[in-house]
A and B are shown apart, each in its own frame.
Chain A
Amino acid sequence: MCTTCGCSSDENEIRFTKIGEKQLHSHSGHYHTHDHNHDHHHDHHFDHDHDHDDHEHHHDHFHNHSHSHEISVVQLEKDILYKNQLTAERNRGFFEALNIFSVNLVSSPGSGKTSLLERTISDLKDKIAFSVIEGDQQTTNDADRIHKLNVPVVQINTGKGCHLDSEMISRAVKELKPVQDSVLMIENVGNLVCPAMFDLGELKRIVIISVTEGEDKPLKYPDMFSGSQICIINKIDLLPYLKFDLEKLKEYAKKVNPHLTFFEVSATSGEGLSAWYDYLTQSIKK
């Protein structure tokens, strides 16, 4: 069994689907970032001559690689997630070169990420070019919602995976082909824990919390709040009906990350969205 995505059976593999292309780009093939180790043995057992104009080298190659009874100590000092980090930096370079403002939207399930995306895109799509990557364990429901707004969207289904990683984004972006001077919204898997550890190469990470959740969420899930630059507080139209202390939430969030910028919005009523829209519009101005 593949232990990263658990793809021992068909329903657990990682799938990339570009919506609206008659499923032409439905990659149901296995996507393994994991190397399957094929052993190759390089036995250099030959001599060869290089002829140069004025001199001649004669190399004797006689390496016998049989270290089977030797013990080697490898001082590696390597970051365990270095591969994710490398690919993330490559993604970031690509986004910066094309002036693509890429944001990684993280939150617990049900905070209103997709609704906020829908509202934002439909209000701004005449002014800004958007593209979207949707991450969920299963279904293309979210991508289908975005597709109705006529913007390019790729759905990544992570199977059993609990987060997106930079390699998935690299692949999805090749499908998506985002245009220059645009905004790329990456909606991560709804989960406040795991996505915190994986840099996707985004320019900004945005954590979304809705007022129907507890004010102390930043203290309970500090990694997600400390790794984000922006915090969007959603569903503020419901405040009159809830015992939710908005200032307390901000205080807790600032305790975890004093640099956070807040937007207080309601994707349903439209309240507070203009500040968020101004921010997005400014972000792709050179």
Chain B
Amino acid sequence: MHELSVATSIVKIVQQEVNKIKGKTVLELYLEIGKLSGVEMDSFYFVWPQCINGNVLAQTKLFVEEPIGRARCAECETEFHIEKTFDSCPNCNSPFKEIISGKELKIKKIIIK
């Protein structure tokens, strides 16, 4: 259940940003959680309400972008879609690749009042 740690880290970072500009509440929060990031979104949404209860995020509208997995083959440079981190290149079957998207775990933007 590391989604709990992820959610509490988000709350902590957002709270700091709110304090910095002496805001009162967060209207909107934009996250990027890639399909290959290791975060189960069902678990994340399960723990989220518990984590924001009574703090600056309590009334926040949450927007989560979930970039899909993409990789570039290290052998033939084909770019391809990956469902799992260990998918091989569809062109040359090489397992060696660079993952170019899907691993994101980021706070993009916060709208604070």
Contacts and interface: CB of A to CB of B under 8 A. Distances in A.
Interface residues of B, number: 41
A72 B21 contact: yes
A35 B9 contact: no
A73 interface: yes
Contact of B86 (A72, A80, A222): A222
Contacts of A81: 6, 9, 105
Contacts of A75: 108-109
7 contacts: A37-B55, A73-B111, A76-B107, A80-B9, A80-B106, A193-B2, A226-B86
B12 interface: yes
B9 A83 contact: yes
A205 interface: no
Contacts of A255: 86, 88, 95
Contacts of A70: 113
A41 B22 contact: yes
Contacts of B91: none
B30 to A, nearest CB: 9
A139 interface: no
Nearest to A255: B86
A173 to B, nearest CB: 20
A3 B7 contact: yes
Interface in A143-184: 161-163, 165
Given A37-B19, A65-B22, A72-B111, A163 B106 contact: no
A258 B74 CA distance: 12
Q: Which of B2, B7, B21, B31 has the most CB of A within 10 A?
A: B2
B92 interface: no
Interface in A236-268: 254-258
Contacts of A82: 13
Interface of B: 1-2, 4-10, 12-13, 15-17, 19, 21-24, 27, 31, 38, 47, 50-51, 55, 84-86, 88, 95-96, 105-113
Contacts of A196: 38
Contact of A219 (B19, B23, B86, B88): B86
B8 A3 contact: yes
A74 B6 contact: no
Contacts, number: 113
A286 interface: no
A71 B38 contact: no
A76 B47 CA distance: 23
Contact of A72 (B8, B15, B23, B88): B23
Given A255-B95, A258-B96, A78 B106 contact: yes
B8 A77 contact: no
A98 interface: no
Interface string A27-39: 0000000110101
A193 B27 CA distance: 33
B66 to A, nearest CB: 14
B108 A37 contact: no
Nearest to A40: B19
Contacts of A23: none
B12 to A, nearest CB: 6
A124 interface: no
B83 to A, nearest CB: 11
Nearest to B97: A258
A75 B31 CA distance: 11
B8 A74 contact: no
A194 interface: yes
B95 A254 contact: yes
A198 interface: yes
B22 A4 contact: no
